Amino acid sequence: MERSGRVARRFGRRPDRAGRGGGYPKRVTFPVVGMVGGGQLARMTHEAGIPLGIRFKLLSDTPQDSAAQVVSDVVIGDYRDLDTLRDFARGCDVITFDHEHVPFEHLRALEADGIPIRPGPDALVHAQDKGVMRARLVEIGVPCPRHRIVTDAADVAAFAQEVDGFPVILKTVRGGYDGKGVWFARSREEAEEPFRAGVPVLAEEKVDFSRELAANVVRSPHGQAVAYPVVESRQVDGVCDTVIAPAPDLSEELSGQAQELALRIAADLDVIGHLAVELFETTDGRILVNELAMRPHNSGHWSQDGAVTSQFANHVRAVLDLPLGDPRPRATWTVMCNVLGGDYPDMYQAYLHCMARDPQLKIHMYGKDVKPGRKVGHVNTYGDDLAEVLERARHAAGYLRGTITE
């Protein structure tokens, strides 16, 4: 009873009690989580809250968005409009996000209205603005690629001289994802393209890396934090294709460094909820931070079926300041493969083959129209033999997409 009372008081409520002198609650009032953004991350976060009895309210761009198809309380509106956000926030106990694009000043205004924002604007800005993120990480001693904000192609050429020449990586400071807003510039001429959009650009050295890793952690308002196993993330054309948990052949020392680094970033930036730290494992055995995401992340989708408590369930727990769940893996290996749209739109017809071939296969679809290259779902497989688990995941994802036909 004390626990339920304490949770209720965090959101300004008093637990109702029946009978003289206390007893069991007469009526249980569960908090309402407001989720800004209607994509697949919101859809799967909502799914994780259902067993807990958590109520969700969704601010979505359209009724056809992934989460809008399954959440009962949906507001259709523009997250860039402050009045829309304020109207949406009424009746919510806490606000969290499917994406990082809500304007910083709007988040500040909601916070000033007394609405809990998790993660808060001072944390979220580091996922919104790559320039702010890089400056802050360097300030707190986090290893990053060499970088600089650049203003034109001549500035890029000057930066290239500082980092052993071209090629260099150019990124829009805000808004890029899945390879969008990222350029691989091999010369000053190729460095012209990013500046045509008229947005700030971050130049980074090209890192010699052996693979990409991700360290996923979750932190609650009272400071409890958990770390998932460090995973290997394999990209194809700038889009995550496969995630292997845990990262194969990663030394215990480097794995521990990556987890400690992610936990330190979460604490120093006061992140509440899920934080994904995307990393490079360099050819000389170091780790460098590439990107941050302050929400459930593609590199953590394996945890739905491969961990005791998924990233989505722990994100819900964190934003409500509930005790966090066990992040340990359930199996020796778990592999996640993204299902991308191709020229085969009727994926449902492929279920018969995939499910009959692999009864342990877990399919997660997002309710999206199939378009070439679009993330429309993912599959998870698990087991004791990595080669077998990897083959099962790749076969299922390929068959659903139509690139494998037998």
Burial class (CB in 10 A: 0-12, 13-18, 19+), 20: exposed
Per-residue pLDDT of the chain (406 residues; tens, 9 = 90+): 333 333 433 444 444 444 444 555 555 589 999 999 999 999 999 999 999 999 999 999 999 999 999 999 999 999 999 999 999 999 999 999 999 999 999 999 999 999 999 999 999 999 999 999 999 999 999 999 999 999 999 999 999 999 989 999 999 998 766 667 899 999 999 999 999 877 889 999 999 999 999 999 999 999 999 999 999 999 998 899 999 999 999 999 999 999 999 999 999 999 999 999 999 999 999 999 999 999 999 999 999 999 999 999 999 999 999 999 999 999 999 999 999 998 777 899 999 999 999 999 999 999 999 998 899 999 999 999 999 999 999 999 999 999 998 8
pLDDT of residue 238: 85
* Among the four given CATH numbers 3.30.470.20, 3.30.420.10, 3.30.1360.170, 3.30.70.360, the one describing domain 209-401: 3.30.470.20
**Phi/psi of residue 234, nearest 5 degrees:** -105, 125
Residue 112 tokens read as 């000033």
Coil, helix or strand at residue 149 = strand
pTM score: 0.92
**CATH code matching the domain that covers 146-205, chosen among 3.30.1490.20, 3.30.420.340, 1.25.40.10, 3.20.10.10:** 3.30.1490.20
- Give, in order, the Cα–Cα distances in Å from 336 to each of 267, 316, 361: 28, 22, 11
Axis crossing angle, helix 40-49 with helix 311-319, rounded to the nearest 10: 70
Q: Give the single-character DSSP code of 92.
A: -
Beta bridge partners of residue 149, listed in sequence order? 202
DSSP per residue over 173-239, as a string? SSS-BTTBTEEEESSTTGGGGGGGGT--EEEEEPP-EEEEEEEEEEE-TTS-EEEPPPEEEEEETTE
Tokens 């030394």 belong to 251
Rounded Cα distance between 70 and 60, Å, is 12
What residue spans define the domains of the chain? Answer: 2-130, 146-205, 209-401
Q: Does domain 2-130 have CATH number 3.40.50.300?
A: no
d(CA 133, CA 150): 16
